[in-house]
């Protein structure tokens, strides 16, 4: 592995770095960064990089790799390759596996099966045992084995006393508690967002208040328990963005994420009854999409995460009300973000890198990435202006449940470098 990128734009918001330079990476290490680099190496690949950008490796803090228990949808190997193909050098996997990630045994299984990956795979653990919402998991023990975040993702911790105890349990080590915000008594059997369109289509609706009431409760609990760390997952409504804005203005240690599908699609797509538009939380109204973009722009929303949720064709190709929720997202996230945020002037490319690389690592208390000579490279190389057509047959995920197939996007990943390895994207 020996690459010299000539005249590449190097951006690292953590270092306040934005410059045009030559970048030499050899055997996984940054050999040199300079205005002009010459070398006599015979085995070096020299790349004219005037259209390319080098950024800290992207990090997705919300993915489902389905392993253990549902390997027919995705496994640790294919999930990691899908992440690499989409430009991610790090991910945080969710704990709703079978068995759930609720003790050190499952944690160690995942760690032992991901040791040689180019993608750094971090682990979240459940808040409650078996995601049942009753007894608190042994979060302290899991944290000792490297677990970075605790959530019953896929299920909401409905009981307020249990959630309060989770915050209290997390206090001694200042653990990060996270939530899938959904009042299940308001959403049981839902198919899509509750609206005039759901009535017209005859589909059971999920009211926006079901997300917002849990989010507001959790914000109040996090404050009551001593301003505990809290991260809200895949928010989807205008009022949710406003609640996060309110919490931050109060000085609470509250962060949040949104997905590319929630700032690129609305509920109108459901008129096709295509199950690849079915997800949780559901696609919302145009005003919600607008509020998410505004929240990204003003810094209310910290992170763009994919909620990569693979399902087999057999599971998705059924009647709409029988199909599972969720879509894959690792391999379209960057293109959707450039197309709908950078090209529409909601974010600069530097700000997008913050949302997709710097901020998730900061929230999880992971070491920041620096571009310095003699340091191991953890880098994503991309072309922010290149147009491409999504072709799901080029995906590395086991599943193909995407609503974006055949869509034209701008912004294409080229390489990642991490863990002394290189990966060339096949998108």
CATH of the domain at 276: 3.20.20.140
Residue 48 lies in a domain: yes
Closest CA to 389 of 402, 378, 379, 401: 402
Residues 102 and 209 grouped into a single domain? yes
| pLDDT score for 42 | 87
Residues 178 and 290 grouped into a single domain? yes
Instruction: Please report where in the chains the tokens 């996060």 appear, as a residue.
Output: 244
Rounded CA gap, 111 and 212, in Å?
35
Q: What is the reported pTM?
A: 0.97
**Residue-wise over 151-162: b if at least 16 C-beta within 10 A, else e?**
bbbbbbbeeeeb
Instruction: Please report where in the chains the tokens 């559901």 appear, as a residue.
Output: 282
Residues 6 and 65 grouped into a single domain? no
Show the low-confidence residues of the chain (pLDDT under 70).
none
Residue 269 lies in a domain: yes
The answer to whether the CB of 219 falls within 8 A of the CB of 203 is no
CATH of the domain at 40: 2.30.40.10
Distance of CA 313 to the CA centre of its chain: 23
The answer to whether the CB of 154 falls within 8 A of the CB of 94 is yes
Read off φ and ψ for residue 33, nearest 5 degrees.
-125, 120
Catalytic residue from among 75, 120, 153, 307: 307
Residues 40 and 65 grouped into a single domain? no
Residue 402 lies in a domain: no
Residue 224 lies in a domain: yes
Residues 87 and 103 grouped into a single domain? yes
Adjacent-strand bridge partners of 413:
382
Distance of CA 173 to the CA centre of its chain: 24
Residues 381 and 274 grouped into a single domain? no
CA atoms within 13 A on the CB side of 7: 4
Question: Residue 307 catalytic?
Answer: yes
Cis peptide leading into 281, omega within 30 of 0? Answer: yes
| pLDDT score for 140 | 96
Q: Give the chain's domain count.
A: 2
Residue 394 lies in a domain: no
| pLDDT score for 139 | 97
Residues 275 and 418 grouped into a single domain? no
Residues 303 and 192 grouped into a single domain? yes
Residue 393 lies in a domain: no
Closest CA to 59 of 423, 379, 274, 399: 379
Residues 185 and 314 grouped into a single domain? yes
- Which domain, by its residues, includes 65? 57-363
Residues 321 and 205 grouped into a single domain? yes
Residues 88 and 27 grouped into a single domain? no
Residue 272 lies in a domain: yes
Instruction: Please report where in the chains the tokens 């607008």 appear, as a residue.
Output: 290
Residue 24 lies in a domain: yes
Closest CA to 275 of 236, 318, 309: 318
Residues 100 and 140 grouped into a single domain? yes
């Amino acid at each position: 592995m020996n690459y010299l990128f000539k005249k590449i734009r190097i951006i690292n918001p953590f270092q306040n770095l934005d410059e045009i330079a030559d970048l030499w990476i050899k055997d996984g290490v940054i050999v040199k960064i300079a205005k002009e680099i010459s070398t006599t190496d015979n085995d070096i690949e020299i790349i004219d990089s005037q259209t390319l950008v080098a950024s800290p490796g992207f990090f997705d803090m919300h993915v489902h790799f389905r392993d253990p228990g549902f390997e027919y949808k995705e496994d640790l190997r294919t999930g990691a390759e899908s992440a690499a193909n989409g430009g991610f050098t790090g991910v945080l996997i969710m704990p709703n596996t079978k068995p759930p990630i609720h003790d050190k045994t499952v944690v160690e299984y995942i760690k032992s099966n991901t040791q040689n990956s180019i993608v750094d795979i971090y682990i979240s653990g459940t808040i409650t045992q078996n995601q049942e919402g009753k007894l608190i998991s042994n979060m302290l023990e899991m944290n000792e084995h490297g677990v970075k975040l605790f959530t019953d993702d896929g299920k909401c911790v409905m009981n307020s006393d249990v959630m309060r105890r989770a915050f209290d349990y997390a206090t001694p080590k200042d653990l990060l508690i996270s939530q899938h915000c959904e009042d299940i008594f308001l959403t049981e059997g839902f198919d899509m967002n509750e609206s005039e369109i759901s009535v017209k289509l005859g589909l059971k609706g999920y009211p926006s208040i079901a997300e917002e009431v849990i989010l507001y409760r959790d914000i109040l609990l996090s404050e009551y328990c001593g301003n505990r760390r809290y991260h809200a997952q895949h928010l989807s409504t205008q009022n949710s963005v406003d609640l996060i804005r309110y919490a931050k203005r109060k000085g609470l240690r509250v962060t949040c994420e949104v997905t590319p599908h929630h700032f690129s699609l609305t509920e109108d797509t459901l008129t096709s009854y295509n199950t690849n538009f079915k997800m949780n939380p559901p696609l919302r109204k145009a005003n919600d999409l607008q509020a998410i973009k505004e929240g990204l722009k003003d810094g209310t929303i910290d992170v763009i995460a994919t909620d990569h949720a693979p399902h087999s064709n057999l599971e998705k190709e059924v009647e709409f009300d029988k199909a599972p929720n969720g879509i894959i997202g690792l391999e379209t996230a960057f293109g959707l973000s450039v197309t709908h945020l950078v090209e529409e002037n909601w974010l600069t490319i530097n700000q997008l890198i913050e949302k997709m690389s710097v901020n998730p690592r900061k929230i999880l208390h992971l070491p920041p990435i620096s571009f310095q000579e003699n340091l191991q490279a953890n880098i994503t190389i991309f072309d922010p202006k290149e147009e491409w057509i999504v072709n799901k047959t080029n995906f590395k995920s086991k599943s193909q449940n995407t609503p974006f197939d055949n869509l034209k996007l701008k912004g294409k990943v080229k390489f990642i470098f991490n863990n002394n390895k290189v990966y060339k994207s096949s998108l």
